[in-house]
Chain A
C-alpha cells in the first residue's frame, strides 16, 4: 500500500466489500468516487488492497464535543478531528458548549474555519439555542443559519431547554431555515445532584439517582410541542426503555421526531459504577440491561434513527477523583464503530447497510449537511472508510487519537478496526494509522481553496 498522499493522486481501492455484501473496486479521483466496478485500473493511482474490508460511506457524528474554543487542555478541533478520522468519521457536528459558547455567527464561523484548517473531517458547528446556554433567551439562530457555517442544528446540550415556552419558540423559529432543535432531555428539578441511574443500585450505594422519568417526561412534552407547532425535533442520547416507547408512539402519530443513541448506552450498564471508576460517569447515566436491550431494539426497528457518539473529552484530573467530583462524559469517536459492531452487528440486529444508514446517511440528513452521507455512488463525494470486521483488538490508550483518555473501553477487547478513511478524496487514515497533520492540513487548504 502506498503512503503517497499527494494532492492529485487518485486511489484505486481493490476488492472492497460494499455494505450490501458485493465485492468491488473503487476509484477515487478529484474528490469524487470516479468509478465502481470489478477489475478496475487507473494509471498513477495509489493502490489500496481492501480484501476482507468493508467499504462504508464516511461516518457522520451528529454529537461531538470538540472543546475548542475554551477547553483546549482536553481537546482541540485538530485533535478531535484526528480522533474522528481514526474512528472512520468524515464529518462531525461540533456541540455548542464551548467557551465562549457557539451562540453567535462569529464563534460558529471560527469553529468551521479551524475545522477546515485541520482538514481531517468536515467540522459542522452546532449553534446554541439560548444565549450562553443559560436557558433564558434565544440566541441569534438566524444569524448562525445564514453565516458561512450554515448552522441547521441547534442545541443547548449539557443543559435541557427546560422552559416549555422557550422550547416551543425555538422549535417554531428554526422552521424559517429548515433547522432542528436537538434537545438534551433532562428535567432539571428531577435530577438535582444526580450521580447515576436511579434504581436498586443507586439505592444501595446511597447515590442521588437520575430517574428515567426525568428524561421521558421531557421527551413526551417535546414531541407534543413539535406536533403542535409542526416542527422538527431531534432527541439527543436517548437512554431509557421508556423513552424508546414515547418516541415510537410519537413516530406512529406522524410527529417529526428523530432520535439518537450513543454507543456506550448500546453496550454498557450501570453496574460498572460499583467500583467508583469515574470513566463510567456520563450524562445521561449508564442504565439497566433492559434499557440497553430496548435501545438496541429501537435502533433495529427505526425508532432510534442514528448512533451519535457524545464524544466528551476530559482532562485526567476531572476523572482521577471521587465519583461525585468527577466530570460527566466519555470519549467515543475512536471506539464508536467497534462498539456498534459488538452491540448490534454481532447480535444480529443490524447489518452493514443499516450501519451506513444510522452512522452516515441519516445523521447527515437530520443535520442538512451537504457533501456527506450520500452513500457510495459514482460521482458522489469521496467520503468513505474501510473497516476490517474480522479484526479483534484490546482497546488501549494507543487506540485513542484525541487528547483525552477518558474512554470506558480501555483494556476491553473490541471487534473490528478502521483501516483507512478518505475525506474529500484524500486519505486521513491509511494502514490503520493517522496521516500526519501537516500533510492533511495541506490537503485541506488545497480542497477548500
Chain B
C-alpha cells in the first residue's frame, strides 16, 4: 500500500488485510511492553491544518508504539491565510526526510494532491479531508463492529449481512462517506437517516438507503446505530431550526434507545454532544462502543502505518 487516501476504491482483500493486521496490533496493546521496533528510524509527520487533538494523538500513539519518530506540525488555518502554500509545506517536510505524512486538511482532496504532486515522496495517510473522507475512522469503525460480532474469531471475516444505520449530518460528514464505501465493500448494508437538509443533494450513486425517519429506522432493528456529531453552527445556516427540535426528531434519546434490541451496537466517532444527538444512557450503555472505538483507533492506525512504511514501500 503506497498511500491511504480513501476507502472508496479499496478492495475487500485490502480492507480485511488491514483489519487483520490491526488485530495483531491490538494484541500488542495488551502486552506489558506495548512497543514494537518495526518503524525504528522512520519519521512520521502529523500535518494538521485543522484542530483535532483526538485524531492527532491517536496517530501519535500509533506511530510511537511502532518506534517511529513523530513530528507534530500544526498548521492551523488555511494555507492561504497562513501565507505558506501546501506545496512549500510539503517540500519542507520532504527536505526534513519525512517517511510518512498524516494529513488533516479542510479541503477535499488535499491528501490526494499531496500524494500525486511529486512535492514529497512520503507515504500519505488521509486523516480527514474536508467533508470528503476519513478512512482510518471508517477502518476503526469496521474493526470495532467486527470484533463485537466475532470476538476472538474476527480475523479474515467481513461484515456480510450486517445492517448499519448512520444518523445525523451526513452532508458534512467525511466519516459517513468513508464508512459508506468501506462497510459496503465488506458486505454490510448501510442506511443514512438525516434531516433532508443534511443529506447530500444527489446520493443516486451511493450503495445505500436514505431516509428522514429515525423512528422507523430504529424499529427496523439494525445491528449497528452510528450517531454522527452535529455541529451547533449548522443551526445558523438554516439546516435545522434549533438543537431542541433536532434532538427530538433525530437524536438517539432514552426512549428510542430503549426500543433497540440489547445486542444493538451503538457507535459515535466522538466528540459527543450528550443530550443532543445521543443521550447519556445510550452513550454509556453496554451496547456503546465509544471507548472501544478510541482504543481500536490506535490499533488500526498502527496497521496503516505498518503497511505504508515498513520495508520496501513500493510493495503492497
Q: Which residues does A use to contact B, with CB under 8 Å?
A: 195, 198-200, 202-207, 209, 211, 275-276, 317, 320-325
B112 contacts the other chain (CB 8 A): yes
Instruction: Please count how many residues in chain B sit with their CB below 8 Å of the partner chain's CB atoms.
Output: 32
> Which residues 84-124 of B have a CB within 8 angstroms of A?
85-87, 105-110, 112-113, 116-117
- Collect the chain B residues with CB atoms within 8 Å of residue A195's CB: 108
Q: How many angstroms between the C-alpha atoms of A199 and B85 in the bound complex? A: 29
- Collect the chain A residues with CB atoms within 8 Å of residue B107's CB: 322-325
- B78, B117, B177: the one contacting A204 at CB < 8 Å is B177
B153 contacts the other chain (CB 8 A): no
Q: A323-B109, A325-B80 are in contact. Are A204 and B86 (CB under 8 A)?
A: no
- Collect the chain B residues with CB atoms within 8 Å of residue A276's CB: 108-109, 112-113, 116
The answer to whether A205 and B202 touch across the interface, beta carbons within 8 angstroms, is no
Q: How many angstroms between the C-alpha atoms of A325 and B87 in the bound complex? A: 12
The answer to whether A199 and B108 touch across the interface, beta carbons within 8 angstroms, is no
> Which residues 195-245 of B have a CB within 8 angstroms of A?
200-206
- Collect the chain B residues with CB atoms within 8 Å of residue A202's CB: 200-202
- Collect the chain B residues with CB atoms within 8 Å of residue A200's CB: 202-205
Q: A203-B200, A205-B132 are in contact. Are A322 and B116 (CB under 8 A)?
A: no
Q: A323-B113, A325-B79 are in contact. Are A206 and B133 (CB under 8 A)?
A: yes
- Collect the chain A residues with CB atoms within 8 Å of residue B108's CB: 195, 205-207, 276, 323-324
B268 contacts the other chain (CB 8 A): no
> Which residues 124-176 of B have a CB within 8 angstroms of A?
129-133, 172, 174
- Sample 14 A-B pairs with CB under 8 A, ordered by A number: A200-B203, A200-B204, A204-B205, A205-B108, A205-B109, A206-B131, A206-B177, A275-B116, A320-B117, A321-B87, A322-B79, A324-B78, A324-B130, A325-B80
| B137 vs chain A, min Cβ distance (A) | 14
Q: How many angstroms between the C-alpha atoms of A202 and B205 in the bound complex? A: 11
Contact with A along B176-204 (1 / 0, CB 8 A): 01000000000000000000000011111
- Collect the chain B residues with CB atoms within 8 Å of residue A320's CB: 85, 87, 117
Q: Which residue among A322, A323, A325 has the maximum number of chain B CB atoms within 10 Å of its CB?
A: A322
Contact with A along B230-266 (1 / 0, CB 8 A): 0000000000000000000000000000000000000
Q: A317-B85, A325-B78, A325-B80 are in contact. Are A203 and B130 (CB under 8 A)?
A: no
Closest residue of chain A to B130 (Cβ to Cβ) is A206
- A199, A207, A211, A322: the one contacting B105 at CB < 8 Å is A322
Q: How many angstroms between the C-alpha atoms of A198 and B203 in the bound complex? A: 12
Q: How many angstroms between the C-alpha atoms of A320 and B90 in the bound complex? A: 12
